[in-house]
Amino acid sequence: MGRIAVLDIDRCKPKRCDKICYRFCPPVRGKIETIVFEEGKPRVVEALCVGCGICVKKCPFNALTIVNLPDELETECSHRFGANTFKLFRLPIPSQGTVLGLLGQNGIGKSTAIQILSGEIKPNLENFDNPPEWAEIIKHYRGSILQEYFSKLSQGFLKVSHKPQYVDKIPRVITGKVHELLEKLDERDKLKKISEQLQLGPVWNRTLNILSGGELQRVAIAATICREADVYLFDEPSSYLDVKQRLEVARAIRSLKEEKTIIVAEHDLAVLDYLSDQICVLYGKPGVYGVVSQVHGVRVGINIYLEGFIPDENIRFRKEPIIFHVKPPTISWDIGETVLKWRKTAKSFEGFRLKVEPGEVRKGEVIGILGPNGIGKTTFIKLIAGIEKYDDEATATATAYELAVSYKPQYISAEYHGSVEDLLRDIKKGDFAASWYHSEVLQPLNVEKLLDRNVNQLSGGELQLVTIAACLSREAQLYLLDEPSAYLDVEERLSMARTIRRVIENKNATAFVVEHDVVAQDFIADRLMVFDGKPGMQGVANPPTTLRKGMNAFLKKMAVTFRRDPTTQRPRVNKEGSKTDRHQQDIGEYYYVAEKQR
């Protein structure tokens, strides 16, 4: 039985716990130094660890993790960054002429695998003290496709084009205007077509350092596609993009498919399903270890991830499956009582005007909001919250009674100087210790493990989860959440959606959720508001309508059809021009066709 021991240095506070892990460790009591202290911090020595887990249970800061693994995995370690750090087992198997999707949680090794396949990281086969040379690496993978892949990569016979995960860092290393960068990289003479497809005209003459996240993402994808390469690697290409942009990016990436090797790491299930021909599921314990599964067909691979069980490896990596409902369940016995109305109104800015059609929402509802970037969704949320004012106050929002509002903005920042627990205690007061609060909010959002962390030291995904928890912790009748899935992985997105629904049910409140992930919207929304117009110039906020009618209207504009997977009931994007796609367009059912209708 192999063993992984990982220490989170940021969480370890030996002065506050009197080195409990050291005092309670059985090998230490037997005079074997399993845990040694260097500069006041403990370092676990894996070779001597008996794996009893006592130190893990005793540590008050959840700083230690010890995982036992089957011996056969020990021979399959591809990379480790150092002692007591993350360990990656196996690698995705690239295949020419197919799009391979990587699906897994944050911190499970997707980006590391992509960096290894791009040549940015040389796999050390766990020998981080004395990394192997290419000859030894190639020998390790003999008999597999990776042997030939690394052989060509090491000799410079394999050209790789890599779109990195964090596009916001691009302006730090590259300067100049968009057209200068793309024209320099246009080795395939595809720039004109790609720039039109990704709508880069408005930013063509802008410098990189003033672009938004979505604009930088599209520029980075165009730059990757325009380069001449044998292998194209895309790490989270849908971040910052709206639904239409995500689908256009997916089409652009798939256009590379012929005679090229393409690997994509993505959290949006609909985009990943549409993009991929095959799937590798990555499972394990985030930040501790990750295992790359064998290759599966796209439908089977995503369903395996949702089920949490890999049949061909006989591995269960999640206790409960993720289940979708064809129709969202009714969440309150008295749903139907109107709590919020608004009249036909408008909000104008310099160069942009939002028209709001009259509508109303009822108690117990979750209203999903869909539409392109720059169409006025955030403006509408701010109008409802009272942050922005209508052009004509006489047309202001009318409510059945004075509403208490809790608002999570689109762009979040760590301005709070204190721990996560301090932040949430300030909000919940005496109810913070209530068992229902921990079981219904903190545990599903994985915030409990962050309670002792400082808010200003959290990663983007961790900060997003804490901000959602803070929003749901406030006592309110109306909850407004703007893009809550940003930076979250698939499990976190669906847990977030489930938690929002549960809180709205328990509090008998109402929620508006702005979200670009169609699968998350399908999971969370009772009704939809679809925004249309001309992005950046004029937007129209249509009144709430049924989930089916709203999705049909939205997807028709996107020229995309969805169907339901018969096993998991999750929405699946039909391949463009397929028999099912043509049939659904003919009958006007873009959202999905029920089984009895087929």
Instruction: Residue 79: give its domain's CATH number.
Output: 3.40.50.300
pTM for the full model?
A: 0.80
Distance CA 478, CA 364 (A): 10
Joined together, the tokens standing for residue 530 give 């679809």
Domain stop point among 264, 283, 305: 305
* Residues 396 and 493 occupy one common structural domain: yes
* Residues 266 and 359 occupy one common structural domain: no
Residue 95 has pLDDT above 80, yes or no: yes
Instruction: Give the tens place of pLDDT for each residue, 220-250.
Output: 999 999 999 999 999 999 888 888 889 899 9
Percentages of the chain per state (helix, strand, coil), in multiples of 5: 40, 20, 40
Residue 25 Cα to chain centre, angstroms: 37
* Residues 422 and 506 occupy one common structural domain: yes
* Residues 95 and 120 occupy one common structural domain: yes
DSSP assignment, residue 387?
S
Residue 137 has pLDDT above 60, yes or no: yes
* Residues 113 and 79 occupy one common structural domain: yes
> Where is pLDDT greater, at 332 or 295?
295
Distance CA 367, CA 508 (A): 14
| Residues counted in the chain | 598
Phi then psi dihedrals of residue 356, to 5 deg: -115, 115
Instruction: Give the tens place of pLDDT for each residue, 248-286.
Output: 999 999 999 887 899 999 998 889 998 999 999 999 988
Residues 172, 236, 223, CA angle at the centre, nearest 5°?
Answer: 55
Residue 20 lies in a domain: yes
* Residues 107 and 242 occupy one common structural domain: yes
How confident is the model at residue 542, as a pLDDT?
A: 95
Query: In which domain, by residue range, is 156 found?
Result: 73-305
- Alpha-carbon separation of residue 391 from 91, 379, 423 (angstroms): 56, 12, 36
Torsion region of 39: left, alpha or beta (phi above 0 gives left; psi -120 to 50 gives alpha): left
* Residues 94 and 242 occupy one common structural domain: yes
The residues, any chain, with a CB within 8 Å of residue 377's CB and separated by 6 or more, are 369, 371, 482, 514, 531, 539
Residue 512 lies in a domain: yes
Domains: count for the chain: 4
Residue 327 lies in a domain: no
Instruction: Give the tens place of pLDDT for each residue, 478-503.
Output: 999 998 988 888 889 889 998 999 99
Query: Nearest-CA neighbor of 495 among 526, 527, 461?
Result: 461
| Residue 214, CB-side half-sphere exposure with 13 Å CA sphere | 17
* Residues 83 and 219 occupy one common structural domain: yes
* 335 CB neighbour count, 10 Å cutoff: 15
* Residues 421 and 543 occupy one common structural domain: yes
Query: Nearest-CA neighbor of 424 among 405, 448, 407?
Result: 448
Residue 311 lies in a domain: no
DSSP assignment, residue 440?
I
Distance CA 481, CA 476 (A): 13
Joined together, the tokens standing for residue 355 give 């028209």
Q: In DSSP terms, which residues pair with 184 in a beta bridge?
A: none
* Residues 103 and 52 occupy one common structural domain: no
Q: Can you give the CATH number for the domain in which 63 is found?
A: 3.30.70.20
* Residues 442 and 462 occupy one common structural domain: yes
What 3-state class would DSSP assign to 36?
A: strand
* Residues 498 and 396 occupy one common structural domain: yes
Q: In DSSP terms, which residues pair with 66 in a beta bridge?
A: 5
